[in-house]
Every structure is written in structure tokens, then in C-alpha cells.
């Protein structure tokens, strides 16, 4: 057994710890987006594979027997490529995918289908916006320059497409007290976020509810159907190393 673990999330790091703890042979793959990726207890490779075909070649060359896709739910291209490459090679694939967040009492969410739609959903009048979507798609908000944007990023950005932005450098997981203080200090009026699911990023939504703030929440992109597990423990079961949790 030789596993390829596609990473870049808190859950992927938990998965790596379990695989290493069991002494399983596995390679951890990062896209290479951040300057200081979290160290892993597995051999790490970095950078794209060259599309689905490139990934299929890699799987064959490296003798991979199982693929675990633990990328972020918004990393849709990588996940589509994994589905295609595994179909091409006949290698079994499981996605470690946390359930999406659902609104509870007191939540004031507007759900939108795309990042561009989130930008359109902002009001015309100037507002203080916590734009919690990472750094990759900020240009979608360049057409709404009247707002003051709070950005929370892993690495200091080189240039920003937003004229009025303040950057906080931080890496999750985040907690409620920290997010409440940040949003109070920043006088946040609106939160824009991706429906990532999981625990490490939901504090901002809980803080928004407690502060009575509206949230524009971006729905996940579509990914072809594939076997899914919600926890690293369930993936271990799928690999035959742990309780079979019915993946």
C-alpha cells in the first residue's frame, strides 16, 4: 500500500498524523501556495502534477495504490483532476470532506453561488467588510472599491487589487474569542466567507451571529461524485486500518 494524500487543510494534517502513526507508506502533496507550509510527519512533495493526465502519470510512476483527497472543498480543480486520474488508472479514491455549515437560530446568512456573486451581493453604501476568502480571488471585489476590506492571509501579499484593505497575517484554526475581538476592533459590519465546513474556520460565523452581523456565504463548487469520508478516522477504515465507518 502506498498512499497519495492531497493536502492543504487542517484535516489533511490530521490525516497525515494518523497515517504516520500507523506506519503506513504515504506521500503528502501540497500545491505550494504558501511560503511556509506546515511540516508533516510524511514525505512531502510540492506543486501541481500537470492536470489529470499528469496526475495519472504520477500515480503510475510512484506506484500509488490509494488516493486520499483532503484538499479544501473550494479546491475544485484538484478534486476534479483526482476523480479523472483515478478513473484513468483504476486507483481507488476517497475524499476527506467535511460537511458544509448550515445556518442556525440567529444566523443572518445570504447564500450565493460564486465569489463574483458575493461581490455583487455587497451593498452600494460603503461598509467595513471582513473578506475571509483567502488571497486567490480578491480581484472579484475590485469592482466594489468603496468598501473597507479586512483580509486575513497566511502570507503577506505582494500587491492587492483593493484600494482600502487592511491585512492581518494569521493561520487557522481560529477561535471564537479571537474572532469576536478582531471583528469588534475592526468594527466589522459584514462578513464574506466560503462555506468550507469544519471547525477551524467557523468561529467567524459564530462571532457574526453573536454580533448580529450579516454574512454573505459562498456555496461550494460542484465536484463529480466520489466516495466520501467526513473524518480522518473514517478514511483509515476505508484503507482497512481502523473501524469500517461505512465510506
Q: ∠ at Cα 49 (43, 53), nearest 5°?
A: 130
Half-sphere exposure of 147 (CA within 13 A, CB side): 27
Residue nearest to ligand NAP (CB): 48
Return the number of the residue (14 or 33) whose C-beta is nearest ligand NAP: 33
What are the residues binding ligand NAP (CB under 6 A)? 6-9, 29-31, 33, 48-51, 54-55, 71-72, 74-78, 81, 134, 136, 194
Q: ∠ at Cα 172 (151, 36), nearest 5°?
A: 85
The helix (H) or strand (E) run that includes residue 208 is helix 203-211
Closest distance of CB 193 from ligand NAP, Å: 10
Return the number of the residue (160 or 211) whose C-beta is nearest ligand NAP: 160
Return the number of the residue (144 or 152) whose C-beta is nearest ligand NAP: 152
Closest distance of CB 76 from ligand NAP, Å: 5
Return the number of the residue (30 or 238) whose C-beta is nearest ligand NAP: 30
H helical segments located in 62-202? 76-89, 115-121, 176-185
Closest distance of CB 186 from ligand NAP, Å: 21
3-state secondary structure of 30: strand
Closest distance of CB 72 from ligand NAP, Å: 3
3-state secondary structure of 194: strand
Amino acid at each position: 500500500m502506498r498512499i497519495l494524500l492531497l493536502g492543504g487543510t487542517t484535516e489533511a494534517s490530521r490525516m497525515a498524523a494518523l497515517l504516520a502513526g500507523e506506519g503506513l507508506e504515504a506521500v503528502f502533496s501540497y500545491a505550494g501556495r504558501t511560503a511556509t507550509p506546515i511540516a508533516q510527519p510524511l514525505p512531502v512533495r510540492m506543486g501541481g502534477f500537470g492536470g489529470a493526465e499528469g496526475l495519472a502519470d504520477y500515480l503510475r510512476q510512484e506506484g500509488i495504490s490509494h488516493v486520499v483527497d483532503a484538499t479544501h472543498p473550494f479546491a475544485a480543480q484538484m478534486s476534479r483532476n483526482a476523480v479523472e486520474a483515478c478513473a484513468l488508472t483504476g486507483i481507488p479514491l476517497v475524499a476527506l470532506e467535511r460537511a458544509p455549515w448550515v445556518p442556525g437560530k440567529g444566523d443572518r446568512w445570504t447564500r450565493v453561488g460564486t465569489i463574483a456573486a458575493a461581490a455583487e451581493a455587497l451593498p452600494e453604501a460603503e461598509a467595513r467588510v471582513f473578506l475571509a476568502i483567502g488571497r486567490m480571488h480578491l480581484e472579484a471585489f475590485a469592482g466594489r472599491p468603496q468598501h473597507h476590506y479586512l483580509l486575513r492571509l497566511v502570507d503577506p501579499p505582494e500587491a492587492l487589487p483593493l484600494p482600502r484593505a487592511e491585512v492581518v497575517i494569521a493561520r487557522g484554526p481560529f477561535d471564537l474569542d479571537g474572532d469576536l475581538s478582531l471583528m469588534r476592533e475592526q468594527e466589522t459590519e459584514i462578513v464574506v466567507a466560503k462555506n468550507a465546513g469544519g471547525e477551524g474556520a467557523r468561529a467567524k460565523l459564530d462571532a457574526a451571529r453573536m454580533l448580529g452581523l450579516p454574512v454573505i456565504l459562498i456555496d461550494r463548487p460542484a465536484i463529480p461524485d466520489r466516495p466520501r469520508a467526513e473524518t480522518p478516522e473514517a478514511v483509515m477504515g476505508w484503507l482497512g486500518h481502523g473501524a469500517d465507518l461505512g465510506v
